[in-house]
A and B are shown apart, each in its own frame.
Chain A
Amino acid sequence: MARLDINSVSKSFGAARPADALSLTVEPGEIVAVFGPSGSGKTVLLRMIAGMFEPDDGDIQVGGRSIVGAAPERRGIGMAFQNFALFPHMSARDNIASGLRAKAAGDVATRVAAISKLLKIEHVLGHTPRELSNGQKQRTALARALIGNPEVLLLDDPLRNVDAKLRYEMRLELPSLLRRGTAAVLYVTQDYREAMAIADRIAVLIGGRLVQVATPDEIYAQPASVAVARLFGDPTINLAEVVPFAEHGALCARVSGAMVGLGSADVDALERECWLGVRPEDLVVSSSPGEGAIPAKILAITPMHEKAVLLLRLADGTEWLAALPPEAPRGAADDAVFIGFAADAAMLFDRATGQKIGLSHRRQAA
């Protein structure tokens, strides 16, 4: 049982600074997803923990013991690589067992058998990596990382190079697999759905900085900034420039000429230049005007199997997206419609800094 502590770790490569005072703690048995756009420093963080290069500054501890400067083989870390990094000249069995032999662990064969059964690759143990499918390679790489029961498990976008069907299956399988032991798991991904499906907490990394660390629900419902809000959700969040004001004790804003309510008045947001954010699935589209409804025109409709996505143009030219459940009436292109949303679905962000402005009544779960 060991905790992974990352303590204001920084790293620069020339002008680039892929890690800027990163601090993060992963408890034993916890899965933390490190999520961010490509080039945000996710892999650099993982590689510093694994010892492929050292941080310029800060400390990394496993179980309270600093591992900075320690040889990779002494860090008690298991890692699965995005490109699998299997040993091409060894069979799958030897690949998996390689972690055990070094530690002179008891019955190698039994443990290889157990882990390969768990990952459903018993039938390909004799194959070399070249003879394995991508999915089998992935499972072999995972087995190799898991078999030594490492204190810290690093997974570098492990589902990146497998096909969609397999990715879906693995997303379901992985959490229980990873929670089997007591390892502190750091899971790097570029796919927000994957992060939300697998992780206990998500650490959002943008430009070498951790901008938010929270549970998946919290991040989705209360993103810390516009940038985070835009990274989670498909279709992405709708934004409008607003300057909220108070009216009859309620917080209001003008969107494309229409006045919409944002709930009870919030002093922080008053008279500030803000971004108003509304998730597409929180939009209600109707053919008749109502209170707080914004007039718009349907430009296009993309039917998807579980929802329909409407591209809408507001009177001031802003384009928004609405995601409607399949059974909802959706109208047709060129229809004039009215859109609205519940006050508690609104998010406000400071336009200068992008930071969230707290709305006390925000609902907790999406």
Chain B
Amino acid sequence: MSMVQLLQTKAPTAPAKPRPRVRLLPYLLSLPALLICIAILVPFVTAAVYSLQRYRLNLPYLRGFIGAGNYIDFLSDPAFWNTLRISITYTVLTVVLELLLGLAIALLLRRPTRFHNAVSIMLLLPLMTAPAIAALMWKLMTNPSFGILSYFVSLLGVSDFKWASDPSTALFTVVLVDVWVYTPFIMILLLAGLRSLPRQPFEAAALDGVPASFVFFRITLPMLAPYIITASLFRLLDSIQQFDIIYAMTQGGPGDRLMVFQVQAYLEFFQYTNVGRSAALLMILWLITNILSNIFIKNWLRLRERAHGHA
């Protein structure tokens, strides 16, 4: 076929095929965020590699791969089991207490009166206090010589209550601080959830004279469930990683009484300079949080869709 023929045969089929427009724009716009992602993933992978190594900062010449050695050591290490036990106890205690208290407060403040709104705003202040600073505040209040709380307790006839410095009450004390800081978090999410619930089921129940307990357990709680689940998972994820409050309060002490995961890993790294062990500890924590956060994100997305009316 000659060139002329080609041109001739092409001419009548005038409509040029649309060029597929290359959509570079979205990639360009998200490039910086992508770089940050990579900047996070690199140390993360590094940590995973460290966890498979014998790696001590003070003994660099001993460095080498030991496979799952660090992990296997944990199995027979009472310190590890202590960490696991303390972390889980701390998490369960804080989340359960905060959930119950937060739900109760949200129910009390449910009607959007001006007074209730003022109270809910005031209750936000602990949440907006830096947890490390909050720990210091409670440290001042529980000081054995002048702390106001120690004084109150002594009025009750308990003379030797040592709060965070006594192994038997240390956990109670940090849990108290955690409850003080984070209960408002659950409260405000559940309050927003409660106030967004449709009114009809409650009005219908009121017309039918349904008892309050039935309304609460069969209508309010099920409808509030997505909010409760999301708020609890949020707290669960943060609580099992708690560092600030415990570190600022006792640095994991007294003894190893409050050695939760991140505090233990921090001390392994900076005090014992055992990078491999520290990394392995954090990888185990990551595994736990990753499972939880996958569940969390699913629930969170569902709520988000509801809030925005679309995916």
Contacts and interface: CB of A to CB of B under 8 A. Distances in A.
- Decide whether A and B are members of one complex: yes
Interface of A: 7-8, 54-59, 66, 68-69
B21 A58 contact: no
Interface string B1-35: 00000000000001111111100000000000000
A66 B16 contact: yes
A8 B15 contact: yes
A113 to B, nearest CB: 37
A54 B15 contact: no
Q: Chain B interface secondary structure, helix, strand, loop or mixed?
A: loop
A69 B21 CA distance: 6
Interface residues of B, number: 8
Contacts of A7: 14-15
Q: Chain A interface secondary structure, helix, strand, loop or mixed?
A: strand
A-B complex: 9 closest residue pairs judged by Cβ atoms: A59-B15, A68-B18, A7-B15, A69-B19, A69-B21, A54-B18, A69-B18, A58-B15, A55-B18
A240 B17 CA distance: 46
A269 B31 CA distance: 66
B297 to A, nearest CB: 26
Nearest to B21: A69
Nearest to A56: B18
Interface in B12-64: 14-21
Contacts, number: 24
Nearest to B17: A57
A56 B17 CA distance: 9
- Among B17, B18, B19, B21, the one with the most A-chain Cβ atoms within 10 Å of its Cβ is B18
Nearest to B15: A59
A248 B214 CA distance: 82
Interface of B: 14-21
B236 to A, nearest CB: 39
Contacts of A54: 18, 20-21
A288 to B, nearest CB: 58
Contacts of B16: 59, 66, 68
Contacts of B19: 68-69
A58 B16 CA distance: 7
A359 B150 CA distance: 104
Given A55-B18, A59-B15, 12 more contacts: A7-B14, A7-B15, A54-B20, A54-B21, A56-B18, A58-B15, A59-B14, A59-B16, A59-B18, A66-B15, A66-B16, A68-B19
Contacts of B14: 7, 59
A57 B16 CA distance: 9
Nearest to A7: B15
A181 B21 CA distance: 32
A8 B15 CA distance: 9
A144 B40 CA distance: 47
Nearest to A66: B16
Nearest to A64: B14
Contacts of B18: 54-59, 68-69
Contacts of B21: 54, 69
Contacts of A59: 14-16, 18
A29 B17 CA distance: 28
A91 B202 CA distance: 42
A44 to B, nearest CB: 15
A69 B20 CA distance: 7
Contacts of A57: 17-18
24 contacts: A7-B14, A7-B15, A8-B15, A54-B18, A54-B20, A54-B21, A55-B18, A56-B18, A57-B17, A57-B18, A58-B15, A58-B18, A59-B14, A59-B15, A59-B16, A59-B18, A66-B15, A66-B16, A68-B16, A68-B18, A68-B19, A69-B18, A69-B19, A69-B21
A345 to B, nearest CB: 42
Nearest to A53: B21
A55 B18 CA distance: 8
Contacts of A68: 16, 18-19
Nearest to B20: A54
Contacts of A66: 15-16
A68 B19 CA distance: 8
A57 B15 CA distance: 9
Contacts of A56: 18
